[in-house]
Amino acid sequence: MTRTPIRRQLAVLDKSLREECGVFAVSGHDAAAELTFLGLYALQHRGQESAGIVVVDDDGEPRIHKGMGLVAEAIASADIQGLRGRVAIGHARYSTTGASELHNAQPALVNYRDGTLALAHNGNLTNAAELRARLVAEGAIFQSTMDSEVIVHLIARSQQPDPDRQVLEALAQIEGAFSLAIIVNDTIYAARDPRGFRPLVLGRKGPAIVVASETCALDLIEGEYRRDIEPGEILKIRDGVIEELPRLAPEGPAACIFELVYFARPDSRIWGRSVDAARRAFGRQLAREHPVKADSVFSVPDSSNSAALGFSEESGIPLELALIRNHYIGRTFIQPLQRDRDFKVRIKYNPVREVIEGKRVVIVDDSLVRGTTSRGLVSMIRDVGAKEIHFRLSSPPIRFPCFYGIDMPTRQELLASSRSVEEIRQYLDVDSLGYLSLEGMIGAVKESGPYCDACFTGNYPAPLTDLQKGLLTSIGCH
C-alpha cells in the first residue's frame, strides 16, 4: 500500500465515484418530518435514487423511513404521519457503483452507548477505504458500502466522554468533502469540511432551526435564510439554541465551482451568490470569448438556461426555445427500451423544427462529460435542417474525475481527457466549438471562492489518500 502518483492512479481507476446528495435537518418543530420531506423535495436534483428521514420524538425514540426512488416515491404521506417528533434529518441520494440498494440509503441510524445516532452526508470522503480497513481490523461490522458509515463508526467507537467530543474526534479523522447533518438523541450537529467543498446553509422556520444543502429548500418551506455554515464549522443545535463548537483545523477553502456551473438549482444562493446570476455571467463571458454570427441561440434545458440567456444578452443574438425537454421520463422506462445510443437523447429532448430549419444556430450547454448527449442533440438538430451549428460550453473542458461528490465518469470516459478542442468539434460534428476558459469562468465569479476546479485542472485540494494507496479499486467503499 505505497503512495503512487495521482496521475498514474487516475489512469487505472476503473470505476466512477457517485455520491451526489442533498441534506436537510429541522430542530424544534412539531411538523419536523413534513418539513424535511418538503426540503428533500426541493433538493431532488441533488439525488434521485433514494430518500430517507429520521425523526426523534420527545421521549428520545427514533423513527426512520427510507425508500428507493424519487423523494415522493420513497416516502408516502402515510409514512410521514408515522414520523412524529420535533427533531429530524433527511437525505436524498444518487449513488451507484453496485450500491444502489436500500441498505445504502441514508440517513444511517444506529443505537450506540450514548443513545441514538443518525447521519446524513453530502460529499465524498477520500480516506474512507483506509479508515474502513482499520475499523474492520478492529472488529467493526459494516452494514453498508457507504463511505458515510465510516463516520458513524468513528463517532460510536470514540473513547471521548460526551457526544460533542465524539463528533469532533470523528470529523478530525476524515478527509475529503462532507456537509453533514447528524442527530445524537435530541441534538443536531451540522458540519462542513474545512475546505467547504459542498454547500450547507442555516435557516429558520419560526422558532425552529433548519439546515439545508441549498437555499431553494428554505424557500419551499417558507423558511428564512440566516447564513452559510462556514468551512470547518461545527454547529450544535438543540431546543432552538445554536452553539458553535471548536472548528476543524483550517485548510484553504475550495468551494466546488461545478455547483455553480451545473449542480445547484439556479434559484438557490450558493457561496453567498445567486446561482442564476453566476450562470448568466458565465454565458456573457462565453459570448465575449467565442463570438459568432448566428440567427438564434438556445439552451439544452434546463441546466444551461441561465447561461444561454447570458450568451444572448451579451451577443444580441435572440434566444429561442428550440429544444423541448420531456420531464416525465422514469429511469426504469428508459433502460429496457434503450435501443441505440441516440435513443436516450431523443426520448428526453425534441427539437422545434420551425425555429431551427434553415437557421445558423448556437447551442449553449453547461458542460460536456462523455459527449453522448451533445452528439445526439447535434445530429437531431441537423436532421431538422439547421444551416450551421455552433456549440458553446459555459465551462472549460472536464478532464479529471471528481473525488469530492460530483458524479463524473473515469478519466478514460471523459471526452476531453484525451482529445483536443478540434478533435471534439469533429466528434460532435459542429461548425464551431467554444469552451469558456478557466480564467474567464473564475473571473466571472471572483467575488466568492477560492474554488475547487479539480475537474478542469487536476489540482485536487484535499488529499486523495485512498486513490494513492491503491484502495479505491480493491475495497468497494462507495
Write out the catalytic residue numbers: 21
**CA separation, residue 476 to residues 22, 170, 176, 405, 470 (Å):** 22, 21, 17, 16, 12
Q: Are 319 and 312 in contact (CB under 8 A)?
A: yes
> How are beta strands 187-192 and 179-184 bridged, if at all?
antiparallel
Ramachandran area for residue 101 (φ above 0: left; ψ -120 to 50: alpha; else beta): beta
382 binds ligand AMP (CB under 6 A): no
Query: How far apart, in whole angstroms, are the C-alpha atoms of residue 348 and residue 440?
Result: 31
Q: Which residues pair with 191 in a beta bridge?
A: 180, 234
Q: Can you list the positions of beta strands (E) in 135-256?
A: 179-184, 187-192, 201-205, 208-212, 224-228, 234-238, 241-245, 255-256
Find cell 439544452 and name the residue: 300
Of 292 and 406, nearer to ligand AMP (C-beta) is 406
CB of 75 to ligand AMP, least distance (A): 23
CB of 414 to ligand AMP, least distance (A): 9
Of 245 and 369, nearer to ligand AMP (C-beta) is 369
320 binds ligand AMP (CB under 6 A): no
Find cell 471562492 and name the residue: 449
Of 130 and 320, nearer to ligand AMP (C-beta) is 320
374 binds ligand AMP (CB under 6 A): yes
Among the listed residues 99, 170, 190, 300, the single contact to ligand AMP using CB under 6 A: 300
Among the listed residues 130, 407, 453, 466, the single contact to ligand AMP using CB under 6 A: 407
Stretch that binds ligand AMP, among 37-45, 233-241, 363-371, 431-439 (CB under 6 A): 363-371
406 binds ligand AMP (CB under 6 A): yes
Of 210 and 286, nearer to ligand AMP (C-beta) is 286
Query: How far apart, in whole angstroms, are the C-alpha atoms of residue 361 and residue 335?
Result: 31
Of 83 and 381, nearer to ligand AMP (C-beta) is 381
CB of 432 to ligand AMP, least distance (A): 18
The per-residue b/e assignment along 158-170, b for 16 or more CB within 10 angstroms, e otherwise, is: beeeebbebbbeb
373 binds ligand AMP (CB under 6 A): yes
367 binds ligand AMP (CB under 6 A): yes
Query: How far apart, in whole angstroms, are the C-alpha atoms of residue 305 and residue 241?
Result: 40
366 binds ligand AMP (CB under 6 A): yes
Of 33 and 254, nearer to ligand AMP (C-beta) is 254
Of 186 and 407, nearer to ligand AMP (C-beta) is 407
CB of 304 to ligand AMP, least distance (A): 6
365 binds ligand AMP (CB under 6 A): yes
Query: How far apart, in whole angstroms, are the C-alpha atoms of residue 378 and residue 355?
Result: 15
134 is written with which cell numbers?
482499520
CB of 220 to ligand AMP, least distance (A): 22
H or E element in which residue 148 lies = helix 148-157
370 binds ligand AMP (CB under 6 A): yes
Q: What is the dihedral of CA 172, 176, 182, 187, to 10 degrees?
A: 40
Stretch that binds ligand AMP, among 1-9, 119-127, 132-140, 403-411 (CB under 6 A): 403-411
435 binds ligand AMP (CB under 6 A): no
Q: How many residues touch ligand AMP (CB under 6 A)?
A: 16
> Which residues contribute to the site for ligand AMP (CB under 6 A)?
262, 300, 303, 365-374, 406-408
